[in-house]
Structure 1
Amino acid sequence: MKKTLICTSLATVLLLGAIATVNAAGLPAAPPSGELGAIVINPYKNSPLTAVVNLHNKEISDVTVTVHGKGKNGVPISYPVGPQTLLRHDGVPIFGLYANHRNNITLNFNLDGKKITEEHQIVTGGIESKYLDHRNHYAIPAVNVTKVDRKFADRLYLVNSNSSTAHGSDLNWVGPKPPPKSTADILAAQKAMGAIPFDAAPLNIIVDTEGEIRWWLNQDATYEGHDIDLNKRGIMMGINETQDGMFTFVQGQRYGFFDLMGRIDDYRLPRGYADATHAMWPMENGNFLVRASKQNYYNQWEDTYVHTVRDHILEVDARGNLLDVWDLNKILDPYRESLLVGLDMGAVCLNIDADAAGMTIGAAELDAPYGDIPGVGPGRNWAHVNSISHDPSDDSIILSLRHQGNVKIGRDKDVKWIIAPREGWNNELAKKLLTPVDSKGKKIKCNDKGKCEGDFDFTYTQHTTWLSPKGTITSLDNGDGRWNDQPVMPTDKWTRFVEYKVDEENMTVEQLWEYGKERGWEWYSPVTSNAEYRADRDTMFGFGGSIDMFDPSTPTIGRINEIDYKTKEVMVEIDVMTLKPLDGHYRSVIVTPKTLFGK
């Protein structure tokens, strides 16, 4: 058994170099690490809590890595490393290191028919947030663990967040403004432009069940907030695992892929399209669905050219070629206003204005200036698609439209069904509305705004309406504008995880499961967030990304939960704080190293 200490300090490098061989240039060569090559920390310069053990031209197999937990209760991270992963990195990936710590690592592998075990130590430095200002409460996210059932102790959660920055003013050209006193003031404060001001520094971490940060993505890997570079602006969103162990992302004018070691490949959006935000979905055929907008779109209803907002779905292949487009302005009704007039203008996704909290706009104001504001018609934020899911059984897409409802659309661009209240749909689309029923198939009576007499409720301003492994539909029902209105008291709002069963033959929908209504205001997330069924442990996993978002005195809470599907007992509850008040997290993803590195 061999032991090696690897340290990032310059003194250690020079000391080791003094006793090592020299390369052709006469410089010290990196010393070997046991039977293999040197250990390189942060090999792609983007993930400082990772390392790679170079293969040193050796062929190894049956590889496993264990990063031991810190202290008595630390969480060990152990995973196999498959042959494709070894080839990808020309070495053994080490994932899950602690920052500012002497990490203990165990490697097991076969070499020349022998089983080898090696113990190594890797010393890491700190992690740094590069976008701090006077509003910061924390330099790195604070994590508070409320409950973790012992069966879930090995869980790892990637939190996709962001940090607002004063640098956005070089895009917006907007200075301080007085608090709005009316809806007219809200509209006056908006600019007639697209979604370019939708911009914040990315903040992506992985936390373990002890509340320790075990991975950090360098913010400048995809973002440039100190200079005007539109290709590296936006908000990093749409993180989903791909078939080959990477993750998708969208950010402004680009979309791409990254892995946990920090390798990043990205593409410019196809010509004619812009502003990729919220959603990117890997399809079973190896292609990807990206939510974007259209440049220079002819608005036939108002006889003008506009830049649309969050209303196009693109299918692209792995080389960035555009294969198909869903133009929702033609497929749905961009002038349906029923929910828009009930929205809280204080928070429309991550466009947050605490001074406008609780205010709404009237129907007469929905055709106000073009731009990234709630309104009707192409060129305004009438749809706000925030999630995409693909149903391979009939090659259809399932969309969450925050400002309209949940919709399934075929490859032929025909609407298959809609889950939403009846109010406001035109005659043709009204035929696609699903009828709520109970467990016995009996119709549940609901009014046009969606308030129902039985055990059923529609979603309002929802996120992540996804097809589950069971064939059901899961969604994070944020609950703003519930029943197309605002309550008298804001504390009467609630958020929930919900699951539906759709019968496409009979055009009915049954509510199978819900959680969160009983938690009330303290669990309410007005924007962002996600929910999904996890078959591996029979839980509903979700993330409330904007709890307490309107409190200017404290950072916003991002609450990770796993709820036992059968008993509805809370198995995991972990709070991750934003760095500043009035910021919001986006989503969370469960990370399983054995599936990511085992290929």
Structure 2
Amino acid sequence: MLKRTILATAIATISLGASAAGFPPAPAAGQLGALLVNPYGNSPLTALLDIRSKKPTDIVVTVKGKGKKGVDITYPVGPQTVNTHDGIPVVGLYANYSNEVEVSYKLDGKKITETYKALTGSIINQYVDNRNITTLQEIQVKKVAKGFEDRLYLVNSHTYNQHGSDLHWSGLKAANASLFDGSPAMGSLPFENPPLTYIVDTQGEVRWWLNQTATYDAKSLDVEKRGYLMGFHDTGYGGYTFVQGQRYGTFNLLGQIQSMRLPRGYIDASHEHNIMPNGHTLVRAAKANYVNDQGDTVHTVRDHILEMDQHGNLVEVWNLAEILDPYRDALLEALDMGAVCLNVDIDHLGETAEMQIDAPYGDIAGIGAGRNWAHVNSIEYDPKGDSIIVSMRHQGVAKINRDKEVVWIQAPSEGWNKELSKKLLTPVDSKGNKIKCTEKGVCEDNFDFTYTQHTAWLNNSNGNLTVFDNGDGRGHEQPALGSMKYSRFVEYKIDEENMTIEQVWEYGKDRGFDWFSPITSNVEYMADRDTMFGFGGSIHLYNPGERTIGKINEIGHSDGKVKVEIDILSDKPNTPHYRASLVNLMSQFGR
């Protein structure tokens, strides 16, 4: 077992124009220009090789691994990337180290290979308090199969904020109320924590870091610097999507960040920002000052899907409270109240709650618009039928078209109204035979529904649906013993014409409670090496006083064997991680 702890002392700083201060510019390090560490000030384990108006082509960058077992990071750099930065991006440096970087390229038809030195400083977590066990998150490499040594993983995690959240939505509990009544804050703006955003290699070394101050400041009242940084997707053109509080946008690995505010009237973006084939963006948000069917003015919670064009114009809105049934409580009353998404309260571990129509409004598990009845945590665009697929932690998975019609629902049958019951998918076996299931979802054959699931995404190789089945409330009940819970990576084949669903692949059930991830997490198919890549972001969350494990896995799709397993241990006890992503440097820099 390899074990590494991220160093934390000081952040490398950007050089702000030395020549303007009376000093000459940095000298060329080779036939091109100077190597500038942290060129945009947000990403201290990166550099940019200036090209001084020259025109290198056929560029390949290799950051040499540290020591005998260190992992080399090699990637091509395309002409668009060079033009965009007026230089050659260098990503994959070690912290607090004199890195060796090899750059090969052609210049005036001649092939050139040069070696550079890039000295970096250390990286720091600015939110350390007496709860910390380590200054940053500890990385433990459990297994790396031959042929997977070059993998890189982007970790989307957070730490608890010792300052506490001091910026909240507030509002009237009812439309006719004359005073604020002290009920819980409406909406989910208190839903925030400082980010820990970095890339790890298969030796457990950190090879990229995004400064926390790039997106977040707990002491600021500026909503641009508040919220939960999350919802990363590779854009395919040199960056990653994100959402955070009242904004959505993209960042790249050199540390450049572009963002926009949510359209007026919408609030609380979190969990998901996905880009459609036409360049439009899908963001999960909520509606401010919404008059619900009880006549109360509320801020809704995690139940609106927004489609914006590239200029921020609002193109389409899916209001799930009108499309689905916000009063269905079949799963809600079976949930463990110790952790509902990233709202963790160990004091209520193992408890369930009865859903009441007159409960307070706010970011609480409950029924009706103005409470957390749906909890959408992923959005997938499906070009088949110009539709979206939404994972709703508290309801199931549903496909909805642009006309706001439900195409299908993947969930047990209990609690759905007459019209929506017609949209439920019927489980079948590999021969198309119907599998008998109870209304709570307990099935006789090799089939299981998902419960409190995350990331219902399409397998681009075959069109199947891949889901991280967290498994809380399985069978719409809490088990006799908490240790009986389990999570799964699962893949389904859906036949929309016959309205059937077949479970074609699963992993994790046999690993039991020690692999159980009650909240967060993600899974998706990776065609390049035929694996299911996934991240269980909250393993051991329910073990009081223990560090929470975020477990990176790649599982062979054909043989079901573990190819990669890396544990990310939280810096504070009982602190969940969110997601992880497989890094494709060709996608980031190859254009």
Note the 1:131-170 alignment, pairs <5 A: 131-170=127-166
Q: 1:119 aligned to 115, 122, 128, which one?
A: 115
Q: Is the 8 A contact 2:236 2:588 kept in 1?
A: no
CA shift, 1:139, in A, is: 1.2
Q: Is the 8 A contact 2:156 2:197 kept in 1?
A: yes
Whole-Å Cα distance in 2 between the matches of residues 594 and 67 of structure 1?
A: 15
**CA deviation digits over 1:134-190, x for unaligned, max 9?**
1011112110000000211000000100111122242369xxxxxxxxxxxxxx998
Q: 1:493 aligned to 464, 480, 485, which one?
A: 485
CA shift, 1:32, in A, is: 1.1
Alpha carbons of structure 1 residues 589 and 516: separation in structure 2 relative to 1, 3 Å? same
Percent identity between the aligned chains? 59
Whole-Å Cα distance in 2 between the matches of residues 9 and 370 of structure 1?
A: 42
* 1:223 and 2:177 aligned: no
Residue 172 of structure 2 aligns with which residue? none
Whole-Å Cα distance in 2 between the matches of residues 27 and 202 of structure 1?
A: 36
* 1:429 and 2:420 aligned: yes
Deviates more, 1:545-554 or 1:139-148: 545-554
* 1:351 and 2:343 aligned: yes
Whole-Å Cα distance in 1 between the matches of residues 99 and 136 of structure 2?
A: 20
Q: 1:398 aligned to 377, 389, 397, which one?
A: 389
Q: 2:463 aligned to 435, 453, 471, which one?
A: 471
Q: 2:52 aligned to 50, 56, 76, which one?
A: 56
Whole-Å Cα distance in 1 between the matches of residues 54 and 486 of structure 2?
A: 57
Counterpart AA for 2:325: D
Whole-Å Cα distance in 2 between the matches of residues 108 and 162 of structure 1?
A: 37
Counterpart AA for 1:285: N
**CA deviation digits over 1:522-575, x for unaligned, max 9?**
000000000111111111110000001122322110000000111111010000
Q: Is the 8 A contact 2:11 2:124 kept in 1?
A: no
Q: 1:575 aligned to 553, 567, 571, which one?
A: 567
State the secondary structure of the residue aligned to 1:151.
coil
Residue 181 of structure 1 aligns with which residue? none
CA shift, 1:30, in A, is: 1.4
CA shift, 1:191, in A, is: 1.6
Residue 24 of structure 2 aligns with which residue? 28
Q: Is the 8 A contact 1:367 1:375 kept in 2?
A: no
**CA deviation digits over 1:356-410, x for unaligned, max 9?**
01000013x3541000000010000000000010111321100100000000000
Note the 1:13-412 alignment, pairs <5 A: 26-171=22-167, 191-299=184-292, 301-363=293-355, 365=356, 367-412=358-403
Q: Is the 8 A contact 1:190 1:373 kept in 2?
A: no
Alpha carbons of structure 1 residues 569 and 39: separation in structure 2 relative to 1, 3 Å? same
Residue 559 of structure 1 aligns with which residue? 551
Whole-Å Cα distance in 1 between the matches of residues 516 and 87 of structure 2?
A: 45
Alpha carbons of structure 1 residues 126 and 577: separation in structure 2 relative to 1, 3 Å? same
CA shift, 1:232, in A, is: 1.3
Q: Is the 8 A contact 1:367 1:376 kept in 2?
A: no
Whole-Å Cα distance in 2 between the matches of residues 274 and 289 of structure 1?
A: 14
CA shift, 1:24, in A, is: 7.5
Q: Is the 8 A contact 1:97 1:214 kept in 2?
A: yes
Residue 3 of structure 2 aligns with which residue? none
Residue 174 of structure 2 aligns with which residue? none
Whole-Å Cα distance in 1 between the matches of residues 568 and 268 of structure 2?
A: 28
Whole-Å Cα distance in 2 between the matches of residues 366 and 476 of structure 1?
A: 30
State the secondary structure of the residue aligned to 1:362.
coil
Alpha carbons of structure 1 residues 523 and 9: separation in structure 2 relative to 1, 3 Å? closer
Residue 460 of structure 1 aligns with which residue? 451
Residue 595 of structure 1 aligns with which residue? 587
Residue 173 of structure 2 aligns with which residue? none
Counterpart AA for 1:387: S
Counterpart AA for 1:528: T
State the secondary structure of the residue aligned to 2:502.
strand
Counterpart AA for 2:269: A
Alpha carbons of structure 1 residues 351 and 540: separation in structure 2 relative to 1, 3 Å? same
Alpha carbons of structure 1 residues 456 and 120: separation in structure 2 relative to 1, 3 Å? same
Q: Is the 8 A contact 1:367 1:377 kept in 2?
A: no
Counterpart AA for 1:484: H
Whole-Å Cα distance in 2 between the matches of residues 536 and 314 of structure 1?
A: 32
Alpha carbons of structure 1 residues 351 and 26: separation in structure 2 relative to 1, 3 Å? closer
Residue 418 of structure 1 aligns with which residue? 409
CA shift, 1:595, in A, is: 2.2
Counterpart AA for 1:92: I
Q: Is the 8 A contact 2:341 2:520 kept in 1?
A: yes
Q: Is the 8 A contact 2:151 2:202 kept in 1?
A: yes
Residue 526 of structure 1 aligns with which residue? 518
Whole-Å Cα distance in 1 between the matches of residues 366 and 321 of structure 2?
A: 13
Structure 1 unmatched ranges of 5 or more? 1-7, 174-187
Give the aligned CA root-mean-square deviation in angstroms. 1.9
Whole-Å Cα distance in 2 between the matches of residues 30 and 242 of structure 1?
A: 34
Q: What TM-score do the two structures reach when normalised by structure 1? A: 0.92
Whole-Å Cα distance in 2 between the matches of residues 155 and 540 of structure 1?
A: 14
Q: Is the 8 A contact 1:257 1:264 kept in 2?
A: yes
Counterpart AA for 2:398: V
Q: Is the 8 A contact 1:168 1:197 kept in 2?
A: no
Counterpart AA for 2:100: N
State the secondary structure of the residue aligned to 1:166.
coil
State the secondary structure of the residue aligned to 2:512.
helix
State the secondary structure of the residue aligned to 2:301.
coil
Post-superposition, which runs of at least 4 consecutive aligned residues in structure 1 deviate over 3 A? 22-26
Deviates more, 1:30-39 or 1:450-459: 30-39
Counterpart AA for 2:514: E
Which structure features the higher share of helix residues? 1
Q: Is the 8 A contact 2:249 2:259 kept in 1?
A: yes
Alpha carbons of structure 1 residues 539 and 265: separation in structure 2 relative to 1, 3 Å? same
State the secondary structure of the residue aligned to 1:86.
helix
CA shift, 1:298, in A, is: 1.2
CA shift, 1:89, in A, is: 1.0
Whole-Å Cα distance in 1 between the matches of residues 207 and 481 of structure 2?
A: 40
Alpha carbons of structure 1 residues 593 and 461: separation in structure 2 relative to 1, 3 Å? same
Alpha carbons of structure 1 residues 472 and 190: separation in structure 2 relative to 1, 3 Å? farther
Whole-Å Cα distance in 2 between the matches of residues 190 and 480 of structure 1?
A: 28
Counterpart AA for 1:527: I
CA shift, 1:116, in A, is: 0.8
